[in-house]
Structure 1
């Protein structure tokens, strides 16, 4: 698919609405912004004639996207393109209604007592029999994988374990690498076995799969979740040094760190902390020289990072949840720190940027590029749970840290759960991810670097 055609398919009425979700809006001093803020239809003019048309060159010169957007903005009545948080028929209307009628004490009690986890997990489990009936081949694969799972504990808590799966008939020396997967669940729910089918496309490519269980809210906040992820990583490195340790450099794919939804946030925050500790330890030991590290195959703690539909800026995602009326029911606020300062600290891209600003000028130029893995951030363009703008903003901040290997992939007509379900049942998203992983040794990529 050509770039122009792909970009055009990303811009739909729904994705346009989501792009305006709090705290986002059209760029200031653009014709688009002027039309949206001016409710007088007579003031509409063609984009090329508008006096603000050249105010934001990157925005207006993105030709394929610009033309499609202007078709929506200028050739349709804006009253027929409702904002997603103001639309009468929006599902957010129901959550806002519940948030307004349920006493705050009830909402917080349901969240803090573990009720949110029970309800969320039960909804998934109750839907499994229906899924098995509608997709019997997937049910058979699930049963086969369940019989092959090896459970490995890394702590005393019932949630501190790893589900391990290996390709059948493939010796360890012939494996292409290992996937280290962190499940989602809004920081307060989720079970490893829910995501077992996610292993299928990786096992087919001779990649071993480790799905990490960890403590979720109210049993653990974001610090506990990142710590559990680190303990699981250490356990894997100890038990499988040829897949996770220094000798993995000979593997075609190597060690992949991947997470979905809140799991993508936890995984990226864990990666940032791992890189921070590595840098500080090497600086303290006097080993942090550019020439030495550029030739050091052990510098990167993982080889590839894949984030699926992640809420990377906690402050912005809190605003989005507040607009949906679920901010007091969601585990986000207690799990990630209650205050705007804590929200920023627990936003991985901002944490990395703040850390790099503390490194002396003479040592920071190449550090991010040395330690940070090749990265792909994936998002469904019609994601109503975590807007795609979360990925575009995180990618922009990470690139500003000096990381050139950040790529983005936006899936047309794809929602939040669709991204991970496609790994389980088939779809274009896993094809794109596996294609990207297959190009690990190539500097070229077929994916689009977004200008959103």
Structure 2
């Protein structure tokens, strides 16, 4: 009996410790769990790069181990969330382990946060990260013409806004092959939450800061993923943006997951959950579809 009580106490202590760790830095805990339960999956970190002088302006580039560079791979660039106030690409290596084995060069991008990252700085950084990724990709077996953008929460806002509001990538001439948003805020003006007020309200941003107001027919294909039980960023954000894109004639797909809260789509990309949920499969299928290179059909000759 005493042994059972001691075992239960140890489980409770371990559970409490895990809960505190997740609360303090959830992505880092996810990364550790993924590494322990899923292994390296043959993924290589091939470069640590910068696209600016600020410490947060960094890129981490991964690819499948043993890849033959003569066959360029599509690129998936992921931007982390954190209410535009916290987060670090170095805690999101599980994203690389989820997608590199499926045949992608994976780039994890950081951006300025908090005071330094107030609107439009986070968008300036996201655009700059995309441009630098396109420049570097060929050095590591990636195809600069086939870049898919993805992000969670605040990061979903960043990639979707940069893809829709044409001024951010106009000078570079780059057009993402596709965009994936996880639990993203796309229609949250006027600002009524501390996080959005801190990042947007103090700099006079208005309706132009909202992705929903930049829906256009020639937008890149988008996949919007949201949990039905997301109380932090309501799923109506994805529904509203999808409707606006559809009305404009742009290609858009949605996946809404019953029982998923704000972080569940992100957690689903890490082992051991990756094996039992289909978020990664949906993202991989979409990314492959929008980056497939069409091979011209040769006309038969006599």
2:152 pairs with 1:302: no
Once residues 387 and 125 of structure 1 are traced to their aligned partners in structure 2, the CA distance between those partners, rounded to angstroms, is 20
Alignment CA distance shift 1:174-1:220 (3 Å) = same
Alignment CA distance shift 1:122-1:337 (3 Å) = same
Contact map agreement 1:182 1:212 (CA 8 A) in 2: yes
Alignment CA distance shift 1:268-1:204 (3 Å) = same
Once residues 167 and 299 of structure 1 are traced to their aligned partners in structure 2, the CA distance between those partners, rounded to angstroms, is 28
Once residues 143 and 56 of structure 2 are traced to their aligned partners in structure 1, the CA distance between those partners, rounded to angstroms, is 22
Q: Which residue, 195, 201, 217 being the options, matches 1:331?
A: 195
Alignment CA distance shift 1:244-1:262 (3 Å) = same
2:234 pairs with 1:342: no
Once residues 261 and 434 of structure 1 are traced to their aligned partners in structure 2, the CA distance between those partners, rounded to angstroms, is 19
- 1:287-334 CA distances to partner (integer Å, 9 max, x unpaired)? xxxxxxxxxxx9761101111110111226x44xxxxxxx3xx33112
* Aligned-partner SS, 1:199: helix
* Aligned-partner SS, 1:222: coil
Structure number with larger C-alpha Rg: 1
| Corresponding residue of 1:13 | none
Contact map agreement 2:34 2:94 (CA 8 A) in 1: no
2:284 pairs with 1:387: no
2:77 pairs with 1:176: no
Contact map agreement 1:120 1:189 (CA 8 A) in 2: no
Once residues 183 and 238 of structure 2 are traced to their aligned partners in structure 1, the CA distance between those partners, rounded to angstroms, is 7
2:279 pairs with 1:434: no
Alignment CA distance shift 1:331-1:176 (3 Å) = same
Shift of residue 120, structure 1, vs aligned partner = 10
TM-score of the two chains, using structure 1 as the length reference:
0.53
| Corresponding residue of 1:191 | 88
Alignment CA distance shift 1:214-1:441 (3 Å) = closer
Richer in helix (by share):
1
* Aligned-partner SS, 2:267: helix
| Corresponding residue of 2:15 | none
2:266 pairs with 1:398: no
| Corresponding residue of 1:312 | 186
Once residues 31 and 105 of structure 2 are traced to their aligned partners in structure 1, the CA distance between those partners, rounded to angstroms, is 26
Contact map agreement 1:303 1:374 (CA 8 A) in 2: yes
> What pairs with 1:172-321 in structure 2 (closer than 5 Å)?
172-241=69-138, 243-245=142-144, 248=145, 254-273=146-165, 275-276=166-167, 301-315=175-189, 318-319=191-192
Contact map agreement 1:175 1:206 (CA 8 A) in 2: no
Alignment CA distance shift 1:388-1:122 (3 Å) = closer
- 1:309-366 CA distances to partner (integer Å, 9 max, x unpaired)? 10111226x44xxxxxxx3xx3311211348x7342211121x15xxxxxxxxxxxxx
Once residues 212 and 133 of structure 1 are traced to their aligned partners in structure 2, the CA distance between those partners, rounded to angstroms, is 21
Contact map agreement 2:31 2:270 (CA 8 A) in 1: no
Richer in strand (by share):
2
| Corresponding residue of 1:411 | 257
Shift of residue 417, structure 1, vs aligned partner = 1.0
Alignment CA distance shift 1:220-1:411 (3 Å) = same
Contact map agreement 1:215 1:224 (CA 8 A) in 2: yes
Alignment CA distance shift 1:132-1:268 (3 Å) = closer
Contact map agreement 2:231 2:262 (CA 8 A) in 1: yes
5+ residue gaps in structure 1? 1-118, 249-253, 282-297, 320-326, 354-367, 443-452
Shift of residue 136, structure 1, vs aligned partner = 2.8
Once residues 143 and 291 of structure 2 are traced to their aligned partners in structure 1, the CA distance between those partners, rounded to angstroms, is 18
- 1:81-100 CA distances to partner (integer Å, 9 max, x unpaired)? xxxxxxxxxxxxxxxxxxxx
Shift of residue 392, structure 1, vs aligned partner = 0.1
* Aligned-partner SS, 2:70: helix
Once residues 134 and 81 of structure 2 are traced to their aligned partners in structure 1, the CA distance between those partners, rounded to angstroms, is 23
| Corresponding residue of 1:102 | none
CA RMSD of aligned residues (A): 3.1
